[in-house]
Amino acid sequence: MAWQAMFSSVMLMLMYLPILVLGFYSFNKSPYSSGWEGFTLEWYRKLFQDERILFALKNSLIVAVTAVGISAVLGTLMAVGLSRYRFPFKGVYVGISYLPLIIPDIAIAVSTLVFLAAFAIPLSIWTIIAAHVVFCIAYIGLIVSSRLTGLDSHIEEAALDLGATPTQSFILVLLPQLMPAIVAGCLLSFILSLDDFLIASFTSGSGSGTLPMEIFSRIRTGVKPDINALSVILIIVSAFIAAIAEFIRFSGDNKKN
């Protein structure tokens, strides 16, 4: 209907108009965003020559890649264990496992900081990684669990009947079927880890600041075109990775069906 199309158009405009304005001003020749003075790519060139930005980006990539790598293994094993095995208080454990999905980031950040302080663990890039593993495991585990619900467990049983060990059955039979969900979960978790500011700011030590933290430290004195350019790049990269994750997940669901 006409009113539904109009409503959808208004909602899309409200959602994406700020991003379009951000992209527009990232090409502004003026060092201030108050007025348009001409088109330039100077801010993008300066951005890739900024040592502080590059150092923060390196830290963010180290954190995201390491946290996602650890979470991929633990999250997959957690999902398989909860799906395939029975044990006491399984329902309670399932609820606890996915709590990071609904707990506010500020609560995770504060609780992690209190835990680190209680055991006198010095803050560093590794404490950021440990904090990010907490919520990355939950996201990967949830996506893998949704994939497991549609798989036929009799295939694994057939492999065991044919002489395969439980480990061989998991690696050769189950894992290939779970791979699309694992990859999709890893890509989604990578984006969340790369974009996280709140948890990283509570758990980072000296010299371990991430890219969102560097951006925040600069916008306190005003948003400059180089930050606009960086934001545009982050939006494009995040959207691209999210699209790949959704495509892989959708392709895996189609093959399953």
Of residues 154 and 200, which shows the higher confidence score?
A: 200
Of residues 15 and 187, which shows the higher confidence score?
A: 187
Distance between CA atoms of residues 63 and 194, nearest Å: 8
Distance between CA atoms of residues 128 and 163, nearest Å: 44
11-15, 52-56, 127-131, 183-187 — most confident range? 127-131
pLDDT at 33: 61
Give Dmax over CA atoms of the chain in angstroms. 73
- Amino acid identity of residue 241, one-letter, is I
Distance between CA atoms of residues 219 and 24, nearest Å: 18
Angle between helices 175-195 and 51-84 in degrees, nearest 10: 140
Condensed to tens digits (0 to 9), the pLDDT of residues 114-128 reads 999 999 899 999 999
Q: Provide Rg for the chain, Cα atoms.
A: 22
pLDDT band at residue 201, thresholds of 50, 70 and 90?
A: very high
pLDDT band at residue 67, thresholds of 50, 70 and 90?
A: very high
Residue 133, exposed/middle/buried by CB under 10 A (0-12, 13-18, 19+)?
buried
Q: What is the mean pLDDT of the chain?
A: 84
Right CATH for 47-256 from 3.30.300.30, 1.10.3720.10, 3.40.50.1980, 3.10.150.10: 1.10.3720.10
Instruction: Write down the domain spans for the chain.
Output: 47-256
Tell whether the model's pLDDT for residue 209 goes beyond 80: yes
Quickly count: other Cβ atoms within 10 Å of residue 213's Cβ: 20
Tell whether the model's pLDDT for residue 256 goes beyond 60: no
DSSP tag of 25: H
This prediction has a pTM of 0.82
Lowest mean pLDDT among 63-67, 72-76, 99-103, 198-202: 99-103
204-208 contacts at long range (C-beta below 8 A, 24 or more positions apart): 204/123, 204/124, 204/125, 204/127, 204/128, 205/122, 205/123, 205/124, 205/125, 205/127, 206/123, 208/59, 208/123, 208/124, 208/125, 208/128
77 within 8 A of 114, measured Cβ to Cβ: no
pLDDT at 244: 84
pLDDT band at residue 22, thresholds of 50, 70 and 90?
A: confident
Tell whether the model's pLDDT for residue 1 goes beyond 70: no
Tell whether the model's pLDDT for residue 217 goes beyond 80: yes
Q: Which alpha helices (DSSP H) does 149-174 contain, by range?
A: 154-161, 166-169
